[in-house]
């Protein structure tokens, strides 16, 4: 394993010329930041993987934090930070835009480098006013606790998770953040040890680098009982660094780690490029499963992925629940977007049901509830008895998933919101949407660029 990891590290570690170019850019950026520091009353500080020397080859992202006094109010921090950030980028000869996370920051492009200038409060981690205030403390912890050799091990772990779609703490990915990778290396010592240990992980794994807590059971059963992996932030004991990691990605990482331990080669470290399914192969896979796909597509709202993907998943859950209330069984579901169009993917057992159905009632020996059931269904319904229970045959209002879903979603934004459709999506759907099932879904798979690649991943998903 060591030999193959050495070869991979040579490929992913920044070369001397790249390091030199980055240092020159950082020095110029620091000079620009210091020129305006007295006027706006802040201290410039580099953060992120560049500052921690855990960055990967060809990375062109630089994070410069402007640290303001903790007594400053949020409005003044944003105003000063935005003004200073814009002037810094302009001094560098670059172009800037205002971006938004928990509060606004300045994003700039300077000679091929992407620069984020983030205002933050210079305060202790247990007195932070926003999550970015904690970031400088993460840099200090890494500098103090991770050796030069281990920084290369971090690079290997970052690359490994990137290859398998597991890198990123955004709400689209729900994977491993860079800081989480750094903590895991400090805890286990090397990439090799992490994959060996992770191949045996089982929910819930607990890692507490600074031993903030005496009881792991307390963390599992009470404090972070919904989290599949618990990694206590060394600088903030009330935060689980791995809280965003999804259950699915926990098991996928475990699977990929086990595969690499069993067969330590390039093919198990790097992920083979996923190719889109041909229409013929896609149709063959659907025919073999004997299911029907429903695709709900609409224009993508102009929002950050951390807003878009949670809303898409919430809407999918809502549509699934409504379909199943009508008798349509959803086997699997997923979401996808290419920043232009959103697609909700629902795989149904069938997309057409018989007109007649039956509803289970109470025991015939339950006099009170039997009377209520009979009063409700007698007349237009056939009332039957099976195995000592009442049943009522009735005629469905909707026999196709397509007609039912059209009726559900063909409404104005306010009505959609009342039905549980998230706000940004309701606004777009109110302007128009497309719903396709059965043979018509194949046309959507063919017309929407990137969707057949998504379906290749969908059909190949296996977590064990």
Domain containing residue 24: CATH number: 3.30.460.10
Beta-strand runs (E) in 283-388? 292-299, 330-337, 341-348, 356-363, 382-386
- The answer to whether residues 215 and 312 belong to one domain is no
Return the structure tokens found at 38. 């007295």
Do 159 and 284 lie in a common domain? no
Dihedral of alpha carbons 62, 234, 103, 337, sign? positive
Instruction: Classify residue 402: in a domain, yes or no.
Output: yes
Single out the residue of 55, 6, 68 nearest to residue 26, CA to CA. 55
- Give which of 119, 147, 105, 156 is closest to 44, Cα–Cα: 119
33 with 105, same domain?
yes
Domain assignment present for 242: yes
Report the domain count for the chain: 4
Domain residues for the domain of 346 are 279-352+398-460
Residue 154 in contact with residue 10, Cβ under 8 Å?
no
Domain-ending residue, one of 95, 126, 157: 126
Measured CA to CA in angstroms, residue 335 lies from 101, 300, 314, 315, 345 at distances of 23, 12, 10, 10, 6
Place of tokens 């009342």: 418
Structural domain includes residue 3: no
Task: State how far the Cα of 76 lies from the Cα of 251, in Å rounded to an integer.
Answer: 44
Residues 285-332 pLDDT 10s: 999 999 999 999 999 999 989 999 999 999 999 999 999 999 999 999
Strand order in the sheet with 236-240: 205-207, 229-233, 236-240
Strands 42-47 and 61-69: antiparallel
Give me 136's structure tokens: 């400088």
CATH of residue 449:
3.30.70.590
CATH value at residue 377: 3.30.70
For residues 339 and 264, membership in a common domain is answered with no
DSSP secondary structure letter of residue 365: T
Answer with the one of 126, 154, 177 that is the final residue of a domain: 126
**Of 247, 269, 291, which marks where a domain is finished?**
269
For residue 164, the number of C-alpha atoms closer than 13 Å in the C-beta half-sphere is 28
Query: Residue 188 sits in a domain of what CATH number?
Result: 1.10.1410.30
For residues 287 and 365, give the distance between their C-alpha atoms in angstroms, rounded to a whole number: 46
Residues ≥6 apart with Cβ < 8 Å to 187:
207, 209
Same domain, 402 and 391: no
Tokens at 410, concatenated: 């063909």
330 neighbors 404 (Cβ within 8 angstroms): no
260 and 325 co-located in one domain: no
362 part of a folded domain = yes
Tell whether 138 is covered by a domain. no
In this structure, are 110 and 33 located in the same domain?
yes
Residue 63's pLDDT is: 97
Structural domain includes residue 303:
yes
141 lies in some domain:
no
Tell me: do 153 and 179 sit in the same domain.
Answer: yes
Q: Which residues of the chain have pLDDT under 50?
A: none
Q: Within this chain, do residues 111 and 26 fall inside the same structural domain, yes or no?
A: yes
Same domain, 435 and 345: yes
Same domain, 186 and 198: yes
The verdict on 238 and 201 lying in the same domain is yes
Residue 4 lies in a domain: no
The four Cα atoms 303, 304, 306, 307 give a dihedral, to 10 degrees, of -10
């Amino acid at each position: 394993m060591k030999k193959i990891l050495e070869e991979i590290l040579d490929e992913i570690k920044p070369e001397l010329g790249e390091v030199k170019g980055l240092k020159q850019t950082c020095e110029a950026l620091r000079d620009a930041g210091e020129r305006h520091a007295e006027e706006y009353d802040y201290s410039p500080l580099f953060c992120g993987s560049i500052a921690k020397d855990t960055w990967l080859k060809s990375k062109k992202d630089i994070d410069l934090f402007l640290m303001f006094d903790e007594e400053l109010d949020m409005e003044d921090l944003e105003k000063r930070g935005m003004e200073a950030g814009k002037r810094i980028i302009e001094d560098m000869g670059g172009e800037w835009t205002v971006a938004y996370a928990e509060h606004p920051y300045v994003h700039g492009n300077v000679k091929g480098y992407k620069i984020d200038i983030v205002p933050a409060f210079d305060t202790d981690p247990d007195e932070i006013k926003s999550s970015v205030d904690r970031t400088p403390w993460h840099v200090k912890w890494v500098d103090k606790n991770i050796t030069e050799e281990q920084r290369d091990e971090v690079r290997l772990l970052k690359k490994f998770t990137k290859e398998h779609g597991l890198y990123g703490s955004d709400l689209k990915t729900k994977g491993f953040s860079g800081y989480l990778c750094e903590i895991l290396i400090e805890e286990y010592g090397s990439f090799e040890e992490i994959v060996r240990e992770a191949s045996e992980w089982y929910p819930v794994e607990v890692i507490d680098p600074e031993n903030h807590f005496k009881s792991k059971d307390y963390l599992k059963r009470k404090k972070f009982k919904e989290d599949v992996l618990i990694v206590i932030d060394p600088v903030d004991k009330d935060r689980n660094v791995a809280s965003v990691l999804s259950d699915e990605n926990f098991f996928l990482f475990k699977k990929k780690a086990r595969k690499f331990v069993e067969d330590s080669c390039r093919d198990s470290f790097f992920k083979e490029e996923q190719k889109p399914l041909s229409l013929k192969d896609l149709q063959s896979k659907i025919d073999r499963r004997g299911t029907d796909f429903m695709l709900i597509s609409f224009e993508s709202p102009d929002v950050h992925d951390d807003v878009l993907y949670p809303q898409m998943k919430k809407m999918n859950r809502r549509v699934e629940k409504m379909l199943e209330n009508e008798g349509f069984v959803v086997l699997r579901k997923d979401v996808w977007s290419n920043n232009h169009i959103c697609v909700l993917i629902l795989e149904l057992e069938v997309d057409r049901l018989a007109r007649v159905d039956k509803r289970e009632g109470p025991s015939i020996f339950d006099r009170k509830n039997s009377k209520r059931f009979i009063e409700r269904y007698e007349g237009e319904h056939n009332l039957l008895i099976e195995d000592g229970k009442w049943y009522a045959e009735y005629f469905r209002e909707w026999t196709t998933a397509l007609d039912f879903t059209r009726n559900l979603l063909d409404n104005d934004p306010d009505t959609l919101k009342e039905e549980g459709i998230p706000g940004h999506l309701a606004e777009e759907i109110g302007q128009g949407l497309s719903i396709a099932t059965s043979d018509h879904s194949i046309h959507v798979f063919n017309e929407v660029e990137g969707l057949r690649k998504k379906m290749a991943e969908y059909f190949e998903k296996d977590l064990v």
